[in-house]
Amino acid sequence: MELLVKENNTLSNSPWLLLHASAVFAFLYLPIAVLILYSFNGEGVGGFPPRHLTLGWYRILFADGPIWDSVLNSLQVAAAAVVIALGFGVPAALALDRTQFFGKALFRRLVLLPLILPGIITGLSLLMLFNVSGTKLSLLTIILGHGTALISVATTEVFAGLQKLDRAQEEASLDLGANYWQTFWRITVPNLKLPIVGAALLIFTLSMDEIAVSFFLIGRDNTLPLEIWGRLRRGITPEINAVSTIIFLFSLVAIVLWYRLRVRSEPDVDVGSEIVQTAEGHTI
C-alpha cells in the first residue's frame, strides 16, 4: 500500500482500483514471464511445473543457421526501411508544415493511414501493385512495404518537432546569408535531431517486429518474424522461447535508449502522449 501516494486528501484511496490495476498488470506480464521462464525449461514448452532448468535451448538457437540468416535479413530490412521512411517522411512533414498545395488534406490522410489500417490491407494492396508491375517478391519488396507504411511514423514525429521549432531561427539563418540548403542542414536538421533519432529508433523496432505486411510480400528469404512464424506452424519448441526472450531484451534496450534520449533533452516530455499522437496522427 506504500505504493500509493494520495494526490490530495479529497480522494479517498480505492482498494478496488488498486486490485484492478494489479490484475491488469499481471495479465499484461503473464505471457512474457511464461515465455522467459520456459526458455530455460529442459522439458519443453508447457508442462507445469518447469523442470530441469537449462541453457540448452540457447545453445541450439546459436547453432541454428536459418534463424541467424533471418535475423540478418531483418536487420537489413529495418535499416533500409529507416532510410526510406525518413527520406520521404521528413520532407513530407516539412511539406505539411509549410506549403499549401492542391490535395494536401488527402495527402495527409494517405500518409497517416497505414498507422491505423490493419497490416493486411497495406500488404495486399502492395502485393497487387508488385504483381501488376511484374516485380518479383524479395527482401526488396518487404523493404518498400515497410518503408512506405512507416513514413507515417517519421512524418508525425518530425511534424510535432517542427511545431515546436522557432521559425525565427531559420529566418535568422537566411538573413545571415545562408541559402535554403545550408539552412536546412545547419539549422533545421540539428533542431529536429531528437524527433528524427526517435523516429529512426521507432521505425527500426517496428520494422524488426513487423509481420502482417511482410506476410504478403515475402520472397525466398525470411525475416525473423516470418521465420518464427514458419516454425510455429510446424510445432512449438523452447528454442522459439529463447529467441523471443532475446528479442524482448533487445526491445527493452530500444525502449530505454529512446526514453533516456527524450528525458535527457526534454525533462518534462510526456513520451506516452507522443506515442499516442504518433499512433493517431493527431499532431497533424
Residues between 231 and 250 that touch other proteins (CB under 8 A): 232, 236, 240-241, 244, 247-248
Pick the binder of other proteins from 161, 195, 198, 225 (CB under 8 A): 225
Contact between 26 and other proteins (CB under 8 A)?
no
To the nearest whole angstrom, how small is the minimum distance from the Cβ of residue 94 to other proteins? 4
**Stretch of residues binding other proteins (CB under 8 A), selected from 51-59, 68-76, 191-199, 226-234:** 226-234
Residues between 102 and 141 that touch other proteins (CB under 8 A): 107, 110-111, 113-114, 116-122, 124-129, 132
Backbone angles phi, psi at 41, to 5 degrees: -95, 115
Q: Which is nearer to other proteins, 65 or 179 (CB)?
A: 179
To the nearest whole angstrom, how small is the minimum distance from the Cβ of residue 30 to other proteins? 7
Pick the binder of other proteins from 59, 98, 186, 260 (CB under 8 A): 98
Contact between 20 and other proteins (CB under 8 A)?
yes
Q: Which is nearer to other proteins, 55 or 120 (CB)?
A: 120
SS (H, E, C) the chain: CCCCCCCCCCCCCCHHHHHHHHHHHHHHHHHHHHHHHHCCECCCCCCCCCCCECCHHHHHHHCCHHHHHHHHHHHHHHHHHHHHHHHHHHHHHHHHHHCCCCCHHHHHHHHHHHHHCCHHHHHHHHHHHHHHCCCCCCHHHHHHHHHHHHHHHHHHHHHHHHHHCCHHHHHHHHHCCCCHHHHHHHHHHHHCHHHHHHHHHHHHHHHHHCCCCHHHHCCCCCCHHHHHHHHHHHCCCHHHHHHHHHHHHHHHHHHHHHHHHHHHHCCCCCHHHHHHHHHHCCCC
Residues between 150 and 209 that touch other proteins (CB under 8 A): 151, 167, 170-171, 174, 180, 205, 209
Contact between 257 and other proteins (CB under 8 A)?
no
**Stretch of residues binding other proteins (CB under 8 A), selected from 52-60, 69-77, 191-199, 276-284:** 276-284
- Number of residues in contact with other proteins under rule CB under 8 A: 98
Q: Which is nearer to other proteins, 194 or 205 (CB)?
A: 205
To the nearest whole angstrom, how small is the minimum distance from the Cβ of residue 69 to other proteins? 18
Q: Which is nearer to other proteins, 65 or 268 (CB)?
A: 268
Residues between 44 and 73 that touch other proteins (CB under 8 A): 45-49
Alpha carbons 198 and 78: distance in angstroms, whole number? 15
Q: How far is CA 68 from CA 45, 222, 228, in A?
A: 22, 10, 11
